[in-house]
Each structure stands twice: as structure tokens, then as C-alpha cells.
Amino acid sequence: MAMDNAEERWRDIRRTRLLDAADRIFARLGYDGASMEDIAFEAGVGKPTLYRYFPSKAELFEAVFSHTLDELERRLDLAVAEGGAFSLRLRRVVEELVPTFRKHIVSMRDLSEGDEASKRRIFRKRRGGIEARLVALLREAVEAGEIRPVDPAVIARFMIGLVWTGTNSHLEGEARIVDAVVDFALHGLGAGEPASGNNASNKNASGEDVSGENSNASGGDA
């Protein structure tokens, strides 16, 4: 049993090393320019070993992307757990999202239509985990009175869209994209009146429904 566990751990370590090597090669050469031979050489193993873990370049590419998202979720958890004001925690989250999104959006441009669709499919499956972390952060900020009452699920989806759009733009420098997303989010959540028809407009800072009070105050019985 101990031998089996040791073998399993070794396989996990080797698989991670292969994924890391493939990630570097895909980033350096692009999907079309990279070969399994390049990746095996980068990892310091023979091609048969690489093919034993990943039967094709397409499967390896998908595995690299999934591994990247695993690492992203781990770093997001650390960024949120570190504590601090909402603005600081939000910035840490966006600072993790931007480089990951930018790197893998750029790589998607090099893919065939089928391979790009495969990568987008993986991201759609995993997007919920990223959104859930943003939702929790936003909900805590609302409850603490750091931002006005909003629908955390909607805002989280909008924010991921902002990061995705920013990283897919021609803006230079990841710091510039981070600053733009955080600035937009903070000002959008903390200034001005909510749009008409927004349920949040009928709630006070504690989240209590005050629609009746608003109606009376404005002569709603007239």
C-alpha cells in the first residue's frame, strides 16, 4: 500500500512538471508552433513518457488550461483570505485575474476553431467557481456597509466581463488594466444613484426594504 501511494505521488509530481513545461512552451511558441517533442525536451523526459500521460497535444493543452484555472482559484482564495478593506481585496483579486486571462486569451488567438471552442468550453465550466469567489467578496462588502446594496451575482458577472474585455484589448501593461477595472468597479459601486427599476434602490444600507417609506415620502398616496 505504501509503495502504491509513493508511486501515485510520483506520478502527480511528474504530471505537474509536464504541465508546467507545456505551459512555458505554449506561451513561448504558441499552440501551432509547439510540438510534443519541444515539450518533452523542456520537461527533461522522452516523448513516450509525455504521450503516456497525454495522448495528444490537444489533450495536453486542455490539461494545461485546467491546471492554470486550478492555480488561479487557489490564488484567489489566498487573495480574499488575506483580509483588509474591500478595495484592497478587490484589487488583489483583479491582479490575479488579469495576467491569467491575458495569457490564455492571447493563446486562444493561435488556435483552430475547434481547439478554441474547446478552451472556451472549459472556461465556461470553471467560470462559476471564479464568480462564486467574487460574489462572496461583494456580499461581505455589502453587509459591512463598504458598498451600497447591489446584486452580487450580477456585479460579479459584469466584473469578469470587464476583465475579459480589458485583457482582450490593445491596452498595454497589465497594471493599467487592473487600475481601470478596479477604478470602474469602485466608482460604479460607491457613487451616484442606482438605476431606476433596480431593486437595490428600494433598500437602505442595511438591506431593509423601504419602498413603502419612499412612496409615502414622495406623496405616493396622492
Per-residue model confidence as pLDDT tens digits over 49-86: 999 999 999 899 889 888 888 999 999 999 999 889 99
CB 96 within 8 A of CB 75: yes
**pLDDT tens sequence across 142-190:** 999 999 898 999 999 999 988 988 887 777 788 999 998 999 888 865 5
Over residues 78-99, mean pLDDT: 93
Largest CA distance in the chain: 83
Fold of 11-55: Arc Repressor Mutant, subunit A (1.10.10)
Q: Which CATH architecture has domain 65-193?
A: Orthogonal Bundle (1.10)
Q: Where are the domains of the chain?
A: 11-55, 65-193
**pLDDT, greater one: 222 or 45:** 45
| Alpha helix stretches (DSSP H) within the chain | 2-33, 36-43, 47-53, 57-81, 86-108, 113-143, 152-167, 174-190, 211-217
